[in-house]
Amino acid sequence: MKSLVVAALAMATAAPIAHAQFGSGVVYDPTQSAHAAQQIVQANHIYTTTLKTTQNVIGAYNLAQRMANLPQSLYTSYTNLGRQQWTVLTRPANTYGNSLPWMNAASTGYGASSANQTASVQRAAQISRYNSLSPQGQQAIAAQGATVDLSDAANTTSLQTVGTIRANSIQRETDISQLEAASHSTDPAQHTEMATLQRINQALLIELRTQQETNQMIQAQALQQIVGQKVQQDNLKSLFQTGNGYQQTFNAVTPQQTSAGTQWAFHY
């Protein structure tokens, strides 16, 4: 093809301006010859472009075929990966019959409120003659009572959260195992682009669910920390109130004691 183009260009370049008469009766026209040479060059360019395009298509096809062929060794070599199993909670002795319900709630999330109350000291009602106390006394008792109530609520919430997460871990492990089996499968249908993207999507959803469970645990811990900080604040406030009351009592009692001592010394 290239030699033909070179010959045509040489003829077009070497041709004289005047018409040449061949013995066969054919008249050589340099204009038409140059036009024919240009068409040959364009045809050669089209041929080259088509050839490159064909080679690219064939290369892409061969790459797709290689990617479609299952590298079985890359999948089977990872099938022995160990799985992260949740540790089963140790069964308590249940000496007084109130430990097992608490452990069941920690494993399933059910009955957390009653289990927490059964395993704890029972919450008492308002103390007798609470309404007859001074406002300061009522506030002190109410603050301690609120700490008890809030601690019970936070502990119950945490117990239910942990139990629910542990109960869902069984189904979560099943879902992960199915994704793992599909990823290690030698079935070509499991390694199409859509199937792979779907597994990636499922894995991301599992990750989001796990993140939500982590957030639940964090907020449960935050509630317990808030209650713990409340205990510290109550103790600190009570200390200030006690110190203030001590100073007032000291100032009120000391003059009386001084006066009584003076009277006793004078009487003596």
Q: Which residue has the higher pLDDT, 108 or 32?
A: 108
Q: Which of 7-11, 241-245, 258-262 has the highest mean pLDDT?
A: 241-245
pLDDT at 259 over 90: no
CA 219 to chain CA mean position, Å: 15
d(CA 159, CA 22): 108
User: Are 258 and 264 within 8 A, CB to CB?
Assistant: no
pLDDT at 263 over 60: no
d(CA 153, CA 123): 12
pLDDT band at 122 (very low <50, low <70, confident <90, very high): confident
Q: Which residue has the higher pLDDT, 171 or 254?
A: 171
pLDDT band at 201 (very low <50, low <70, confident <90, very high): very high
pLDDT at 182 over 80: yes
**First-to-last C-alpha distance (Å) of the chain:** 145
Summarize the confidence of residues 192-208 as an average pLDDT.
Answer: 89
Over its C-alpha atoms, the chain yields an Rg (Å, rounded) of: 46
Amino acid (1-letter code) at residue 232: Q
Tokens representing 191 are 């390694």
pLDDT at 27 over 70: no
Tens digits of residue pLDDT in 130-145: 888 888 888 888 988 8
User: Are 9 and 33 within 8 A, CB to CB?
Assistant: no
- Distant-in-sequence, close-in-space partners of 65: CB < 8 Å, separation ≥ 6: none
Please tell me the predicted confidence (pLDDT) of residue 62.
Answer: 82
Taking residue 161's Cβ as centre, other Cβ atoms within 10 Å add up to: 19
pLDDT band at 159 (very low <50, low <70, confident <90, very high): very high
Please tell me the predicted confidence (pLDDT) of residue 17.
Answer: 46
Tokens representing 193 are 């682009």
**Percent residues over pLDDT 70 in the chain:** 71
pLDDT at 186 over 90: no
CA 244 to chain CA mean position, Å: 51
Q: Which residue has the higher pLDDT, 124 or 117?
A: 117
Average pLDDT, the chain: 78
Dihedral class, residue 21 (left if φ above 0, else alpha if ψ from -120 to 50, else beta): beta
pLDDT at 126 over 80: yes
d(CA 90, CA 103): 9
Amino acid (1-letter code) at residue 234: D
d(CA 8, CA 21): 18
- DSSP class of residue 97? S
pLDDT at 96 over 70: yes
Angle at 248 between CA 242 and CA 253, to 5 degrees: 120
Please tell me the predicted confidence (pLDDT) of residue 102.
Answer: 93
pLDDT at 261 over 60: no
Integer CA distances (angstroms), 223 to 156, 191, 212, 255, in order: 11, 46, 17, 49
pLDDT at 79 over 60: no
